[in-house]
Amino acid sequence: MADIPVRVEERLKIKIGEAKQLLPRSNLSSVVRDVYCTLSLDQEEIYRTKTVEKTLNPFFGEEFQFEVPRDFRFISIYIFDRDKHLKQNKVLGKVAIKREELGSYNNKDHWFAIKPVDADSEVQGKVNIELRFTSNYQKSKYGRNDRLSVQVVKCLDLTLKNGACDPYALVCVTYTNRKSVSKRTKVRKKTTCPQFDEVLTFDSYEGRDKDGLCGDGSDVDICELNVSIWHDAPGMGDDVFLGEVRVQLSGMQQQNAAPRNAWYFLQPRSAKNRPSFTYSTPPGTRLSKDNSLGSLRLQIHYNEDRVFPAEIYKSLKDLLLTSVQTRPITSSAVYFLGEIISSKMEIAQPLVRIFMHHGQIVPIIKALADAEISMLTDPTTIFRGNTLVSKMMDEAMRLIGLQYLHKTLRPTIELIFNERKPCEIDPTRVRDANTVQSNLNNLKTYVLKVFEAITQSAVHCPALMCQIFHNLKECAMKRFPENKEVRYSVISGFIFLRFFAPAILGPRLFDLTTEQIDNQINRTLTLISKTIQSLGNLVSCRSSQQVCKEEYMESLYKEFYTESHVTAVRQFLEIISAISNPETRDSDTPVTLKEGLMIKRAQGRKRFGRKNFKQRYFKLTTHNLSYSKTRGKEPLCQIPLSNILAVERLTEKSFKMKNMFQIIQPERTLYVQAANCVEEKEWVDLLTKICQTNMNRLKKYHPCAFINGQWSCCQSPNELAPGCSKVSSTESNNFHMTLDPERDLQRIHSLIMSHLKQLELLMKPEAFVKGTLQFKTYGIQDIKVLRDLRDVALEIEAKHKIYMRTLARDTKYGSLAAPIGDDNYLLASRMNLDSLLLRR
């Protein structure tokens, strides 16, 4: 198992709900705040919420989810107060959760105490230190002299302070007589990963008094080492603290041995009375019952999967894929997974991706839908519950139809953000009742644009979605032949209620916008989403009263409850559920895939132009990548996707800048810096994905830039020299996201192991006789499938245990993989491996 390549994949979804009882701006309780939150990996800001004005109990209700692109120690949510008058933002406090503790909060709302932010505790990164003790190094008039040689080899992932990092190391030793001596390295400019090629030496006689002894007459020894990292900030007052390491050296003097080299996590600045090198949760990160600064409600879902190669999962994959042919489908492995796992979306997501990868998504959804519909007696309840097939449909539509969604909704969403017209029609929510009519007109305009965009988009609906919709319609019509509306309602329940309406309500979750959503726009999107959701019900409701719950919405519904609107909805539903749906896709119309601000280096298109860095607005479509000075301006440069030879990350040493990547073209290379590590990963992954089938794609590239007449990576002076590293590769598929079947199979394995008791309970017929479960009594075929599920999961689990034991045995505490200073590797190696793996 030691030779098997294993990768760790992490995904985090966090919903920032609301804050309670924040402190007022002054002693007057009436002085409220304008509050927003930032979500950070350690000290790197990843996302920011909208600003909620004039409140001490702000409600945010925003959800963020992303693939974790790098190692981290804490997820931190900082709470800020935006002061318009002082034109500055003040941090009110933070909630910080250790990486190892994230799993304990999964899938539930938790209230966290907001803790104060101390500049000396805002640290991140690691430091590599090498120590050598030489006894009797040099005899002096005081007798024996010991020498300590300290080399701060390098640091990784230091914190940026105001966008800069010019670090140096300050090394301080303390002697047994409490005297201390400090020395420092040179400053390393513009880097968060500095290398220090200096050895600092400390002699024991440096700590002696005039008589060469301690105050009690004993000899003087070096007892403690403190290495602190600082950001050099000339002209800004004091230098900025970046972290420290404290190491006890008592007893080392007698060891005239080889150098001791180890990696350490940087720690917050220690209080004078704190025991040196005590590895506990840094100040400001530990949860407590002290809510003096208020509290914050969060919902967290964190997955960490150790993914093995494909052959490890072959038995599980084959068992899942046989579900397509299993009859009845209620005796299949997929169906049983939906029964034993309570969170249907958790299991639906990996299942959809696996069956999508193997081209079996249409038949598996059809089989599950047949089974569910056959058990119903009321057509109005079709797919209304929290069932496996309904969640699989949600995930399939999102995966298959994301580009279709963008093409349909993005123009109107952008118009709403640009115009910012008020659309509030609830009389209890407006200050002036006379504005309701004009607001209603604005809302009608937006709803009409969305309605027309949807109903006229049928020919662009992906063929795979059309096949699934056709099968659902056939199933429903076969089960309820007397109901003439069911052919429409079964489709509208998905396409309107669970596809378009959620995307309008939360456009950031569907990548329809990157802009902040203020209260007014949020309300506008809510009203449009409610209206579109109701319009989807027109095909099965006889009057607007059946879809209208709020009185103030009735006038809007009446405007759209006409025969022409009902006809348009039905025609749209008929086209997208026709099995012979024509492949008349308008491929000449570009679809925006991603956009946002980034910093780019001049490409050198002008002969005498300076190659400086400038901020530009980038836009990636299905046709090209372009950038302009600001959003909405004419592009300064357009790069056809067919011209992109490779997209790869750029090492930090090239320009001493983080989160950079390169877009390689035949004539030149474009160097770009993303806002943070998550943005960098998303841009690189997406560009790589859509350009991977280019005929002229490179096989090798240069991971560093060509600077000062040579490539920094291979030192070749030839700017046209072929690359020295292999390009990244991804598996090809026709969907917006790259499928990763091994990762999805591992996610299913983890879910089975966490629900193993429920699975084994189903295998005991006596449990059903006693009526302890609300399932049918299973037969011999059912028990065999359940046993196969258990056995393949335990087989994979055995390989995980072997791997974890090998990892615990081979990983050295103090190595880069397990730095000293946090309860990571050392704690994990002491834990019971069985319980550790079950929580994975």
Instruction: Give yes or no: residues 579 and 626 share one domain.
Output: no
CATH number for the domain including 681? 2.30.29.30
Question: Given a cut of 50, is residue 273 above it in pLDDT?
Answer: no
- Lowest model confidence (mean pLDDT) among 24-33, 63-72, 781-790: 24-33
Q: Place 288 in a pLDDT band, splitting at 50, 70 and 90.
A: very low
What CA–CA distance (Å, rounded) separates 838 from 800? 10
Instruction: Give yes or no: residues 475 and 493 share one domain.
Output: yes
**For the residues 215-244, what does the mean pLDDT come to?**
82
Predicted pLDDT at 603? 65
Predicted pLDDT at 347? 96
Q: Is residue 89 part of a domain?
A: yes
Q: Residue 226's closest CA among 196, 194, 264?
A: 264
Q: Place 823 in a pLDDT band, splitting at 50, 70 and 90.
A: low
SS3 state at 275? coil
Q: Is residue 768 part of a domain?
A: no
Task: Give the end of a domain, one of 241, 275, 302.
Answer: 302
If one compares 143 and 733, the residue with the highest pLDDT of the two is 143
Residues 762-779 have pLDDT tens digits of: 887 654 444 444 445 667
- Lowest model confidence (mean pLDDT) among 59-63, 361-365, 650-654: 650-654
- Lowest model confidence (mean pLDDT) among 283-287, 604-608, 746-750: 283-287
Q: Are 172 and 150 in contact (CB under 8 A)?
A: no
DSSP secondary structure of 771-801: T-SSSPPP-HHHHHHHHHHHHHHHHHHHHHH
Question: Given a cut of 60, is residue 719 above it in pLDDT?
Answer: yes
How is residue 772 written in tokens? Answer: 């302890």
CA dihedral 557, 563, 565, 571 (to 10 degrees): 140
Question: Given a cut of 70, is residue 758 above it in pLDDT?
Answer: yes
Predicted pLDDT at 386? 84
Q: Place 29 in a pLDDT band, splitting at 50, 70 and 90.
A: low
Instruction: Give yes or no: residues 568 and 668 share one domain.
Output: no
Instruction: Give yes or no: residues 493 and 475 share one domain.
Output: yes
Instruction: Give yes or no: residues 574 and 598 share one domain.
Output: no
Instruction: State the average pLDDT for the chain.
Output: 84
- Lowest model confidence (mean pLDDT) among 157-171, 251-265, 314-328, 578-592: 578-592
CATH number for the domain including 141? 2.60.40.150
CATH number for the domain including 465? 1.10.506.10
How is residue 633 written in tokens? Answer: 């301006």
Residues 101-159 have pLDDT tens digits of: 998 998 889 999 999 988 788 889 999 999 988 876 555 555 667 788 999 999 998 98
Q: Is residue 770 part of a domain?
A: no
Question: What is the count of structural domains for the chain?
Answer: 4
Question: Given a cut of 90, is residue 538 above it in pLDDT?
Answer: no
Instruction: Give yes or no: residues 704 and 653 share one domain.
Output: yes
Q: Place 160 in a pLDDT band, splitting at 50, 70 and 90.
A: confident
Residues 439-486 have pLDDT tens digits of: 999 999 999 999 999 999 988 899 899 999 999 999 999 999 998 889
Task: Give the end of a domain, one of 556, 587, 618.
Answer: 587
SS3 state at 637? strand
Residues 165-176 have pLDDT tens digits of: 999 999 999 988
Instruction: Give yes or no: residues 661 and 720 share one domain.
Output: yes
Element (DSSP H or E) covering residue 66: strand 59-67
Q: Is residue 756 part of a domain?
A: no
Q: Is residue 758 part of a domain?
A: no
Q: Place 782 in a pLDDT band, splitting at 50, 70 and 90.
A: confident
Q: Is residue 313 part of a domain?
A: no
SS3 state at 630? coil
**For the residues 224-253, what does the mean pLDDT come to?**
85
Q: Place 547 in a pLDDT band, splitting at 50, 70 and 90.
A: low
Question: Given a cut of 60, is residue 299 above it in pLDDT?
Answer: yes
**For the residues 310-328, what does the mean pLDDT come to?**
95
If one compares 259 and 412, the residue with the highest pLDDT of the two is 412
Predicted pLDDT at 696? 86
How is residue 801 written in tokens? Answer: 């245990």
Q: Assign residue 420 a region: left if phi > 0, alpha if psi is -120 to 50, beta otherwise?
A: left
Residue given tokens 């990486």 in the structure block: 99
Identify the DSSP state of 424: -
Q: Place 322 in a pLDDT band, splitting at 50, 70 and 90.
A: very high
SS3 state at 204? helix
Strand partners, 706: 711
What CA–CA distance (Å, rounded) separates 805 from 758? 27
Task: Give the end of a domain, one of 694, 726, 758.
Answer: 726
SS3 state at 321? helix
Instruction: Give yes or no: residues 557 and 596 share one domain.
Output: no
H helices of 637-776, in order, are 677-691, 741-754, 756-762, 765-769
Question: Given a cut of 50, is residue 732 above it in pLDDT?
Answer: no
Q: At what angle do helices 333-340 and 361-374 cross, to 10 degrees?
A: 60
Q: Residue 600's closest CA among 618, 610, 613, 617?
A: 613
Instruction: Give yes or no: residues 106 and 170 share one domain.
Output: no
Instruction: Give yes or no: residues 576 and 517 share one domain.
Output: yes
If you compute the radius of gyration of the chain from its CA atoms, what whole number of angstroms results? 31
Q: Is residue 459 part of a domain?
A: yes
Predicted pLDDT at 639? 94
Predicted pLDDT at 278? 35
Question: Given a cut of 70, is residue 323 above it in pLDDT?
Answer: yes
Q: Residue 394's closest CA among 361, 371, 367?
A: 361
What CA–CA distance (Å, rounded) separates 765 from 619? 59
What CA–CA distance (Å, rounded) separates 560 from 527? 14
Q: Is residue 548 part of a domain?
A: yes
Question: Given a cut of 70, is residue 368 above it in pLDDT?
Answer: yes
- Quick one: 204 exposed, middle or buried, by C-beta within 10 A (0-12, 13-18, 19+)? buried
If one compares 296 and 83, the residue with the highest pLDDT of the two is 296
Instruction: Give yes or no: residues 609 and 521 share one domain.
Output: no
Instruction: Give yes or no: residues 703 and 644 share one domain.
Output: yes
Q: 672 is in which domain, residue-wise?
A: 592-726
Q: Is the peptide bond prior to 350 cis by the omega test (within 30 degrees of 0)?
A: no
The type of residue at 279 is Y
Direct distance between the N- and C-terminal alpha carbons of the chain, in angstroms, rounded to an integer: 19
The edge-to-edge listing of strands for the beta sheet with 295-307 is 59-67, 7-20, 295-307, 109-113
What CA–CA distance (Å, rounded) separates 412 from 603? 34
What CA–CA distance (Å, rounded) separates 46 from 16? 14
